[in-house]
Each structure stands twice: as structure tokens, then as C-alpha cells.
């Protein structure tokens, strides 16, 4: 091998070793793709796998490590893919298994890790297992939760066996004419719950995991985990008396018998064991497990498992989604962040989520002005970061009329309340440029309309602008790759008037200070009072859009001026950081080039 190449390889090995912690996902930068809305390659108005493949370079440039796809499997689409009729095949709208294999190859080429959505709680009622179970075929009788109805004493007609409600409203029980029994469905009636007290179901679903591992995926996001088990004796749930839920809503009850049952944590530990054993036997890299759970903090911590029986690598941290709102202060954000860090059992991976396909977009929920500031927070806290597609552009919700609404959760409600239930506003097509359908599709009609502001809020416009949310986001993902953010300590402080939340990330001799002004007016912060041993001057590495502060400029740490709703990262030498990043990009490109040839 040429001498120069040898030296570069050595350098890169050293660099990678010093930059990354043990497993990539410990500080992984994850991007969630909602496949229907990311990129349409065949002009049918719906995104697909080849569309995603054509945009992987974008995600690579964005600085992402992991790409999580919401479900792409065969499905009648009663819940847009979360109702799966074949766990081992791709929906024809998205492509084929061959397209999937090519997507994995392209991810591997770019060093991106592909994560699939594993939906174990339920299947579609059009799944072969359900049809067999409904007709009581031997071996399938107990694949789902079947019960006889009760007979109402007054009317003498059959009624559900208990008061459990579906999260999509109304009773969680549905009558089957075929079996003459009722089945339980936590979500849509076309999503019957699988019975995890049946060992055959447990084994089948482990085999599903193996199937996709064999096709090269790097791990799974696991859907609706708190709902896996239900109280065996079907006790009625007590009323919650919540004023934001009506009598037909799941949240009108305290969900103590349909969520967070103790067997759930063991199931997650079994999945972890299954994945770890797979990696060990096949001698491949560790696979990641991320659990979707909106449970209370102390219940969520149980998903981490323990040393002898590790569970998920992390349960998604939805605390910022659940608890922050447009009026949340610096103090609120600081305590939401630190409650997780304090509650998390030692040695585990923290993670931060600000948006997904089930919630309003962060700009619409938490304030458009705070868009960059919140991305600063997400990218600079210790642990993993999960970004929902479009948040890097600070996209907003798209308003949809009742007639345009397609989300079953909203369609099961009515024109008066649908907006509070609908998830469609955050699921509209991704804006790539200012051409027809924002460059997402050549179709005459896309499955959901493109947002009105796509002429200005799109990737191309933000790539070409001198400054933009996207450019700022890329600076954040690039500094995040530094040791300070991967391995550094986190030490935080609130300004005296509690408007500004700052933290120091420190690793050996390097440090960075993140300053977030959650107030509406300009603040002058004396960082030397808040943090010990910081230099009297620091350099601005990156600042939020239109802050009026110049990147690369030197700032007196005793009087840091920061406008309302803005954020900055200060470092000892911005040029040093940039040089190190350029070196890293050069070395990793070289390594890639050598190995590819």
C-alpha cells in the first residue's frame, strides 16, 4: 500500500477511536423518516424506498448516523402502516424486498445505520394469523385476545367484556361474526392485539426480528411497548376525570390494566437478549433497541433493565414532548432535562426527542422562534438525539381541513374536535425545493397536501441561502461529533433571572458552553459567575439564525449578549474545531475510498 495511504489509515483509526464511544448509538444522531412523505420516486404521490435511497446522501451530509423508518411492511393502511398484514414483506406502495436490500446496501456504503420499526403489539386484522385465529384454526386459537361479550342485564344484548377504551376512541373490543366472540384492540379495530401470554406468539415475533436482522438492519424502534400486556382478569379501569378527554377517549380512564403491566419489561429484556445473541453468534456489530413509551418517568426507567438482564438501549425520552409547551421557561427545560439524567440508572444512555409523526411539529408546538434553539438543545445534550424529518428546516404544521384529514385517530372523532386528535399536520410531504409538490413527487395529487410555505421552507433554498436553519443544524451535528459532546461532562446553570439555561460540556482540556435564552428579550449573561475556570474570552462556534452574533467572533465571557429565543455555542477556538472537522471528513472519506476500491 502506498505510504501516504498507510499514514492516513493510522490517523483515522486513532481519530475514530478517540472520537467515538463504545457503540455508535450511545451518542447516535438518529433521523426518523416517515416513508409516505419523504420522497416519491414513481410519481404516485406517496413516498417510497427508492425515493429514500435517492436522498440518503442528504442524510449523510446532514451528519446523521442512524436512519429509522416508520413501517414499510405490507398493510391495508388503516393506520398508515402500523397495521401490518405481513411482517416479512414490503408494501408494494413502498417497493419490494429487492428495493429494501438495495437500500441497506446504500446505507452501508454511506456508513448510515438502518433501523426498522418493529410493531409487536398488534397485527392487521388482514394478517393470516388473525384469519386463522378468527376461525379457531388449531394452534392459532389464542394468538389474539378473545373474550365472550357480557350480556347486558337490562337490554339483554351482548356488550364488551369490560370498559377498556381504544386510543383511537370508543370501546377497545370488536365483535367477530366469524368467531362469535370479541377481540381486544388497543388502537384501530383493524389492529387486533397479539396475545403475548402465548409462547408461540413470542417466538413468531422473535423470528420476525431475526428475519430483518438477516437482511442487515442495525436495530429496531419498538412500537407501543407499554400496551403489550393487559390485566388477565380484565378488570374495569377507574375513571381519570381528565377534563381534556371525553367519555369515548382512552384517557377518560386511568389505564392501569391496559398499560405498563409488569411482564412488559421482561419481554423487552428477551428481545435484547435475542439481538445480543444474534450479534455474538453472527459476529456482527451490536444492534440497537429503542422503545416507544409515553409512560411515567419511573416506569420508563424500567425499560433499561439491569446488568444481569439488560433491556432497551433506551426508552424514547418523550419528557420534552409531554411537558414542554410554548410558555415553558429556561428553568422548566433545565428541570425536564435533568430529571431524566437523574432518574436514569447509572451507565445507561440518555436520549432526547422533540418531535415525531404522532405529535405536532416542534415549531408549532414549542414556538417557531425557538426552532433553532431547540435543535441546539437536542444536538448538544449527552446521549443520543432523535430528529423527525423536517425539523432540521424548522418546518411547521400544515393546517388540514376535516375533509382533507386521513389520520384514523382524527377520523374517528368529529369535525369539532378532530384538530386536537389529528397527526396529519406533522406528516405532510417533505419540501425538497420550490418546484411542483416541493420536489417530493411528480404526481398531480400527493397523499397529503404540501405545506403552503414550501417555496421558502425547503432544502434547496436553505442550502443556497447564506444562513439558514439547515446550515445551522449541520454545524450542530458536526460539533456533536467532537469528543466534548460525545464524552464530555455536563454541568449546567441558570442565569440569575432564570431566562437563560447554559451548560458546559467538558472533555479533558476541551470545552464548549451552550447558552440558550428562553426569554423573549435580550440578556447579558456573566458566564464566569456561573461556571468555574472558564477563559475570559471564548469564540462563537455557531449561533441561531438572525441572532446578530457573528460566528468566529470573540466574546467576553463576563458579558455574553444573547437576544431572546436565541442560542450560541462558545468554544476556545472555533477555527480549531472546524479544522478538526475538516480533517475528520477528509480522513473518513479517504478510508471509505480505500475500502470501496
Report the nearest approach of ligand NOJ to the CB of residue 148 (Å). 26
Does position 358 interact with ligand NOJ (CB under 6 A)? The reply is yes
Q: Which of residues 71-110 bind ligand NOJ (CB under 6 A)?
A: 79, 82
Q: Which of residues 488-547 bind ligand NOJ (CB under 6 A)?
A: none
Q: Which of residues 120-179 bind ligand NOJ (CB under 6 A)?
A: none
The verdict on whether 539 is a catalytic residue reads: no
* Cα–Cα distance for residue pair 380/221, rounded to 1 Å: 22
Q: Which is nearer to ligand NOJ, 171 or 409 (CB)?
A: 409
Q: How large is the angle between the packed helices 199-214 and 263-282, nearest 10 degrees?
A: 40
The verdict on whether 223 is a catalytic residue reads: yes
Q: Which is nearer to ligand NOJ, 93 or 513 (CB)?
A: 93
* Cα–Cα distance for residue pair 52/130, rounded to 1 Å: 31
Report the nearest approach of ligand NOJ to the CB of residue 534 (Å). 42
Report the nearest approach of ligand NOJ to the CB of residue 224 (Å). 4
Among 24, 187, 418, 503, binds ligand NOJ (CB under 6 A): 187
DSSP 14-63: HHHHHHS-SSGGGG-EEEEE-GGGT--SSSSSS--HHHHHHTHHHHHHHT
Q: Which is nearer to ligand NOJ, 130 or 503 (CB)?
A: 130
* Cα–Cα distance for residue pair 502/465, rounded to 1 Å: 29
DSSP one-letter code for 262: T
Does position 204 interact with ligand NOJ (CB under 6 A)? The reply is no
3-state helix, strand, coil in the chain (%, to 5): 35, 20, 45
* Cα–Cα distance for residue pair 584/16, rounded to 1 Å: 8
Report the nearest approach of ligand NOJ to the CB of residue 70 (Å). 7
Q: Which is nearer to ligand NOJ, 228 or 494 (CB)?
A: 228
Report the nearest approach of ligand NOJ to the CB of residue 187 (Å). 4
Q: Which residue is nearest to ligand NOJ (CB)?
A: 82
Does position 271 interact with ligand NOJ (CB under 6 A)? The reply is no
* Cα–Cα distance for residue pair 138/578, rounded to 1 Å: 65
Among 69, 90, 119, 145, binds ligand NOJ (CB under 6 A): 119
Report the nearest approach of ligand NOJ to the CB of residue 190 (Å). 11
Q: Which is nearer to ligand NOJ, 26 or 79 (CB)?
A: 79
Q: Which is nearer to ligand NOJ, 357 or 487 (CB)?
A: 357
DSSP one-letter code for 550: P
Question: Which class for 565: exposed (0-12), middle (13-18), buried (19 or more C-beta within 10 A)?
Answer: buried
Q: Which is nearer to ligand NOJ, 187 or 518 (CB)?
A: 187
Report the nearest approach of ligand NOJ to the CB of residue 80 (Å). 7
Strand, helix or coil for residue 175: strand
Q: Which is nearer to ligand NOJ, 223 or 392 (CB)?
A: 223
What does R_g of the chain's alpha carbons equal in angstroms? 25
Catalytic residue (one of 117, 249, 292, 319): 292
Please choose, from the candidates 486, 492, 530, the residue with its C-alpha nearest in 3D space to the C-alpha of residue 514. 492
Report the nearest approach of ligand NOJ to the CB of residue 250 (Å). 12
> What is the grid cell recorded at 427?
406528516
Report the nearest approach of ligand NOJ to the CB of residue 226 (Å). 10
Number of residues that bind ligand NOJ (CB under 6 A): 9
Catalytic residue (one of 117, 193, 223, 397): 223
Q: Where are the beta strands (DSSP E) in 354-472?
A: 384-388
Does position 228 interact with ligand NOJ (CB under 6 A)? The reply is no
> What is the grid cell recorded at 320?
420534552
Q: Which is nearer to ligand NOJ, 192 or 367 (CB)?
A: 192
- For the window 290-319, what string marks contact with ligand NOJ as x by the rule CB under 6 A? --x---------------------------
Q: Which is nearer to ligand NOJ, 134 or 292 (CB)?
A: 292
Please choose, from the candidates 74, 69, 2, 75, the residue with its C-alpha nearest in 3D space to the C-alpha of residue 30. 69
Q: Which helix (H) or strand (E) holds 338?
A: helix 330-343
Report the nearest approach of ligand NOJ to the CB of residue 396 (Å). 20
DSSP 266-319: HHHHHHHHHHHHHHHHHT-PPPEEEE-----HHHHHHTTB-SSSB--SEE---H
Mention every residue, 6+ apart, whose C-beta is less than 8 A from residue 273: 309
* Cα–Cα distance for residue pair 499/479, rounded to 1 Å: 25
- For the window 18-57, what string marks contact with ligand NOJ as x by the rule CB under 6 A? ----------------------------------------
Does position 224 interact with ligand NOJ (CB under 6 A)? The reply is yes
> What is the grid cell recorded at 35?
416513508
Among 125, 134, 223, 391, binds ligand NOJ (CB under 6 A): 223
Exposure string of 58-70, with b = 16+ CB inside 10 Å and e = fewer, is bbbebbbbbbbbb
Distances (CA, A) of 581 to 479, 587, 588: 8, 10, 10
User: Which residues make up the interface to ligand NOJ (CB under 6 A)?
Assistant: 79, 82, 119, 187, 223-224, 292, 357-358
Return the active site residues.
223, 292
Amino acid at each position: 500500500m502506498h505510504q501516504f495511504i498507510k499514514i492516513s489509515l493510522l490517523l483515522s483509526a486513532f481519530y475514530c477511536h478517540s472520537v467515538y464511544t463504545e457503540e455508535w448509538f450511545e451518542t447516535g444522531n438518529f433521523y426518523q423518516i416517515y416513508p409516505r412523505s419523504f420522497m416519491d420516486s414513481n410519481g404516485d404521490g406517496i413516498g417510497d424506498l427508492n425515493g429514500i435511497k435517492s436522498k440518503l446522501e442528504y442524510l449523510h451530509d446532514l451528519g446523521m448516523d442512524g436512519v429509522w423508518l416508520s413501517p414499510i411492511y405490507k398493510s391495508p393502511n388503516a393506520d398508515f402502516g402500523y397495521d401490518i398484514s405481513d411482517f416479512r414483506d414490503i408494501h408494494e406502495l413502498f417497493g419490494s424486498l429487492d428495493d429494501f436490500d438495495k437500500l441497506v446496501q446504500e446505507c452501508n456504503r454511506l456508513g448510515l445505520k438502518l433501523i426498522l420499526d418493529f410493531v409487536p403489539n398488534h397485527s392487521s386484522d388482514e394478517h393470516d394469523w388473525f384469519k386463522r385465529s378468527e376461525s379457531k384454526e388449531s394452534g392459532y386459537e389464542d394468538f389474539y385476545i378473545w373474550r365472550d361479550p357480557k350480556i347486558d342485564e337490562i337490554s339483554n344484548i351482548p356488550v364488551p367484556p369490560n370498559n377498556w377504551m381504544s386510543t383511537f376512541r370508543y370501546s377497545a373490543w370488536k365483535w367477530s361474526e366469524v368467531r362469535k366472540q370479541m377481540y381486544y384492540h388497543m388502537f384501530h379495530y383493524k389492529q387486533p392485539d397479539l396475545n403475548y401470554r402465548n409462547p408461540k406468539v413470542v417466538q413468531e415475533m422473535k423470528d420476525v426480528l431475526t428475519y430483518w436482522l438477516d437482511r442487515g438492519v442495525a436495530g429496531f424502534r419498538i412500537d407501543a411497548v407499554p400496551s403489550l400486556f393487559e390485566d388477565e382478569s380484565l378488570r374495569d379501569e377507574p375513571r381519570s376525570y381528565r377534563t381534556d378527554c371525553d367519555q369515548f377517549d382512552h384517557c377518560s380512564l386511568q389505564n392501569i390494566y391496559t398499560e405498563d403491566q409488569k411482564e412488559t419489561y421482561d419481554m423487552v429484556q428477551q428481545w435484547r437478549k435475542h439481538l445480543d445473541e444474534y450479534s455474538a453468534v453472527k459476529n456482527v456489530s451490536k444492534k440497537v433497541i429503542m422503545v416507544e413509551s409515553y409512560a411515567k418517568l419511573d416506569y420508563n426507567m424500567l425499560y433499561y433493565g439491569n446488568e444481569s438482564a439488560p433491556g432497551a438501549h433506551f426508552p424514547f425520552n418523550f419528557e420534552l414532548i409531554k411537558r414542554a409547551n410554548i410558555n415553558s421557561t429556561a428553568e422548566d427545560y433545565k428541570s425536564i432535562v435533568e430529571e431524566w439524567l437523574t432518574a436514569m440508572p447509572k451507565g445507561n444512555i440518555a436520549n432526547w426527542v422533540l418531535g415525531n409523526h404522532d405529535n405536532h411539529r416542534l415549531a408549532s408546538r414549542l414556538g417557531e422562534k425557538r426552532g433553532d434553539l431547540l435543535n441546539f438543545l437536542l444536538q448538544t445534550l449527552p446521549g443520543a438525539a432523535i430528529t423527525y424529518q423536517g425539523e432540521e428546516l424548522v418546518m411547521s404544521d400544515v393546517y388540514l381541513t376535516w375533509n382533507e384529514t386521513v389520520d384514523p385517530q382524527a377520523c374517528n372523532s368529529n369535525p369539532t374536535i378532530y384538530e386536537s386528535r389529528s397527526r396529519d399536520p406533522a406528516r405532510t410531504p417533505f419540501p425538497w425545493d420550490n418546484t411542483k409538490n416541493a420536489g417530493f413527487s411528480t404526481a398531480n395529487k400527493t397523499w397529503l397536501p404540501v405545506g403552503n410555505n414550501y417555496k421558502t421552507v425547503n432544502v434547496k433554498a436553505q442550502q443556497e441561502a447564506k444562513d439558514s436553519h439547515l446550515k445551522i443544524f449541520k454545524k450542530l451535528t458536526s460539533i456533536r461529533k467532537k469528543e466534548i459532546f460525545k464524552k464530555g461532562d455536563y454541568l449546567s446553570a441558570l442565569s440569575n433571572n432564570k431566562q437563560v439555561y447554559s451548560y458546559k460540556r467538558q472533555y479533558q482540556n476541551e470545552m464548549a458552553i451552550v447558552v440558550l435564552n428562553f426569554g423573549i428579550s435580550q440578556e447579558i449573561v456573566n458566564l464566569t459567575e456561573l461556571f468555574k475556570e472558564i477563559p475570559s474570552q471564548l469564540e462563537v462556534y455557531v449561533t441561531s439564525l438572525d441572532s446578530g452574533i457573528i460566528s468566529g467572533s470573540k466574546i467576553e465571557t463576563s458579558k455574553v449578549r444573547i437576544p431572546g429565543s436565541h442560542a450560541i455555542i462558545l468554544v476556545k477556538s472555533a477555527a480549531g474545531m472546524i479544522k478538526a472537522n475538516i480533517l475528520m471528513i477528509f480522513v473518513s472519506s479517504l478510508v471509505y475510498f480505500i475500502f470501496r476500491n
